[in-house]
Structure 1
Amino acid sequence: MSALPAAPRFSDPGVFGRVAVLMGGTSAEREVSLDSGRNVLEALRSRGIDAFAVDGIPALVEAIRAGGVDRVFNILHGNRGGGEDGVLQGLLDALGVPYTGPGVLGSALTMDKIRTKQVWMAEGLPTPGFARLAAGEDLVAAARALGLPVFVKPSCEGSSVGVFRILGEQDLAAAAEFAAGYDGELLMERMVQGPEFTVGILGDLALPSIRIEPAGEWYDYHAKYVADDTRYICPGMEGEEEAEIGRLALAAFRAAGCSGWGRVDVMRDRETGLQLIEVNTAPGMTSHSLVPKAAAELGVDFASLCWLILEQTLPEQTRVEGREGGAHA
């Protein structure tokens, strides 16, 4: 059984001031971000927080210049106009505006799947073997050298954008066609033969794991955001195995320079055991999303989860109504 999250430090929504819920943007994950953002905005307002929606980074800059932002709940997914690649975090650090989620280092590093895996390997943490493909590199030759089956995915995208599952030679053509028109690095990763899990992180706590069982052959974009027949089993493991996956997820999160909240995706290979896949530093908060499901297993409803995440933007010694908070910022 996972530990319970710490109780909220504050009950007065006024402690947060005016909160910009940052969503949308121009990344490939815009629509998912808008869905997440609407849910977060509704949840914060339901708890009396003075929250408002902001679509994209330029609009946020204007709102900050106008003096109307005390802190940011970042639910902007992806890069290239998203909020998970460190650019937003550096901007807000420079402007002195607190925000949810990891800082510059953790955000920038984990947006790049290849370099995240390199850090994990240096730390002795388990992750599937991989090949790094520069733009224009021969994907077919790389797949044959690494050995099928493999997954191919952009190193710096999320939400299963541009992911190819290559089981045999017949699957190479479609992936090679995508690679020929893609201008960034691609990650080619040995396919894990076994079940898929995810572990939400809230501060220093690993939430209960979730075992993901899609109705189809794999957990693609449709299974994540559209289908209603994907099964989510929480907790995904029991006893010492559940404790082990929680410890591994926390270690992976911290090794990648992350703090605050996020989600670590893990798979269990039939031969090599638990294998780290990637980190999400602004996880989805849609009706299909996994961090809210895991929090609910501990009795934390969606609005309370959003409150706890937003509390992470408050400094350790925030004085409200004559008392001080004592948790970490």
Structure 2
Amino acid sequence: MNAALSLPRTTDPTAFGRVAVLMGGTSSEREVSLDSGRNVLEALQSRGVDAFAVDGIPALVDAIRAGKVDRVFNILHGNKGGGEDGVLQGLLDALKVPYTGSGVLGSALSMDKIRTKQVWLSVGLPTPGYLRLGKGDDVHDAARKVGMPLIIKPSCEGSSVGISRVFDDAGLDDAVSLAARYPGELLMEQMVVGDELTVGILADGGGHVALPSIRIVPKGEWYDYNAKYVAEDTQYLCPGLDGAAEDEIRAIALAAFEAAGCNGWGRVDVMRDRASGAFFLLEVNTAPGMTSHSLVPKAAREVGADFEELCWRVLETSL
């Protein structure tokens, strides 16, 4: 599958006007967002864009009211004060301020892992079997239905926050207690044993292109928060696959992204079962990280777009 990018829509930094790089916020992913935001701000300014930092949605509203904002580069992560759950997007739509990335529908749906899975299953896309856990549900009975090993996680968090891998009945209660610290429903999901991969999606030429896949090889047992943002020994292989398998994962990721109503840019996380080679969709990230450890920049480099060029391309999604 060809992932070469077409020419940018503009080469004039003044075409964007004043750009608020929205970062930080109050979600559990605040520190990651601040790191991403600083990198994006520096990249845009290096290309001549009149960009400035804004920390959180209330400060953004103040800047908009003061007439200082022509468009928003959204690099807030998470929900409930983050920028990925559709609330920010609805606000900016109402205020008629253009912004990067997915709109209300794609943002809100993708932040809810359970409802994203329901959409994927309705159109025949593969995702691990699961059960929704409500307050007071018998988690041990649910685990017998899903089968061990399994994953328990908050339905509406990202960056591996609140996730546990459970291999036996003894670990269930602690896993549920951890996930329940976060708002929203809980998701119990079959654990796919195999390779963890991710596929970046970027608007290009009137549609979207799937960037080369990345296979993630953490030093530890799995790709947790520490492996994502702290450890220096996680390996990233790009492209993660070759031949027909690479074509297949990129096609599935692109279909998943568009089925969830997403647009602009994002990242689709996928597991590949070691025994069968089958792919299983996990989630869509509509405002992926842009830190030194982040994955979309690594994939973009494979098609000739350095970090500054990637930030420019993402900013173009607001035009």
- Which residue does the alignment assign to 2:31? 31
Residue 135 of structure 1 contacts residue 183 of structure 1 at CA under 8 Å; is this kept in 2? no
For 1:121-270, what aligned pairs fall within 5 Å after superposition?
121-179=121-179, 181=181, 183-203=183-203, 204-269=208-273, 270=275
Question: Counterpart amino acid of 2:69?
Answer: V
What is the number of equivalent residue pairs in this alignment? Answer: 314
- In 2 relative to 1, CA 53–298 (structure 1 residues): closer, same or farther, beyond 3 Å? same
Question: Counterpart amino acid of 1:275?
Answer: F
- In 2 relative to 1, CA 179–50 (structure 1 residues): closer, same or farther, beyond 3 Å? closer
Question: Counterpart amino acid of 1:279?
Answer: V
- Which residue does the alignment assign to 1:280? 285
Residue 72 of structure 2 contacts residue 99 of structure 2 at CA under 8 Å; is this kept in 1? yes
Structure 1 position 2, deviation (Å): 3.5
The 1-side partners of 2:70 and 2:123 are apart by 37
Q: TM-score, normalised by structure 1?
A: 0.93
**What is the identity percentage for the equivalent residue pairs of Structure 1 and Structure 2?**
72
Unpaired runs of 5+ in structure 2? Answer: none
Q: Which moved more, 1:271-280 or 1:206-215?
A: 271-280
The 2-side partners of 1:42 and 1:176 are apart by 40
Residue 201 of structure 1 contacts residue 261 of structure 1 at CA under 8 Å; is this kept in 2? yes
User: Does 1:308 pair with 2:313?
Assistant: yes
- Which residue does the alignment assign to 1:101? 101
Structure 1 position 183, deviation (Å): 4.9
Structure 1 position 272, deviation (Å): 6.4
The 2-side partners of 1:166 and 1:108 are apart by 28
Residue 134 of structure 1 contacts residue 184 of structure 1 at CA under 8 Å; is this kept in 2? no
Residue 2 of structure 1 contacts residue 208 of structure 1 at CA under 8 Å; is this kept in 2? no
Residue 107 of structure 1 contacts residue 281 of structure 1 at CA under 8 Å; is this kept in 2? yes
Question: Could you list the per-position Cα deviations for residues 146-189 of structure 1 after superposition, in whole angstroms to 9, with x for gaps in the alignment?
Answer: 11100000000000000010012232231133356555200110
The 2-side partners of 1:110 and 1:57 are apart by 20
- Which residue does the alignment assign to 2:87? 87
- In 2 relative to 1, CA 218–96 (structure 1 residues): closer, same or farther, beyond 3 Å? same
The 2-side partners of 1:64 and 1:152 are apart by 40
- In 2 relative to 1, CA 227–92 (structure 1 residues): closer, same or farther, beyond 3 Å? same
Residue 19 of structure 1 contacts residue 51 of structure 1 at CA under 8 Å; is this kept in 2? yes
Q: Which runs of 4+ in 1 moved over 4 A?
A: 179-183
- In 2 relative to 1, CA 207–306 (structure 1 residues): closer, same or farther, beyond 3 Å? same
Residue 152 of structure 2 contacts residue 179 of structure 2 at CA under 8 Å; is this kept in 1? no
- In 2 relative to 1, CA 179–22 (structure 1 residues): closer, same or farther, beyond 3 Å? closer
The 1-side partners of 2:124 and 2:284 are apart by 17
The 2-side partners of 1:11 and 1:179 are apart by 45
Partner SS for 1:268: strand
- In 2 relative to 1, CA 141–181 (structure 1 residues): closer, same or farther, beyond 3 Å? farther
Unpaired runs of 5+ in structure 1? Answer: 315-329
For 1:19-58, what aligned pairs fall within 5 Å after superposition?
19-58=19-58
- Which residue does the alignment assign to 1:297? 302
Q: Which moved more, 1:144-153 or 1:125-134?
A: 144-153
Partner SS for 1:195: strand
Partner SS for 1:237: coil
Partner SS for 2:194: coil
The 1-side partners of 2:254 and 2:313 are apart by 18
Residue 133 of structure 2 contacts residue 188 of structure 2 at CA under 8 Å; is this kept in 1? yes
- Which residue does the alignment assign to 1:13? 13
- Which residue does the alignment assign to 1:76? 76
Residue 208 of structure 1 contacts residue 234 of structure 1 at CA under 8 Å; is this kept in 2? yes
The RMSD of aligned alpha carbons is 1.2
Question: Counterpart amino acid of 1:34?
Answer: L
The 1-side partners of 2:119 and 2:230 are apart by 33
The 2-side partners of 1:239 and 1:11 are apart by 34
- In 2 relative to 1, CA 28–181 (structure 1 residues): closer, same or farther, beyond 3 Å? closer
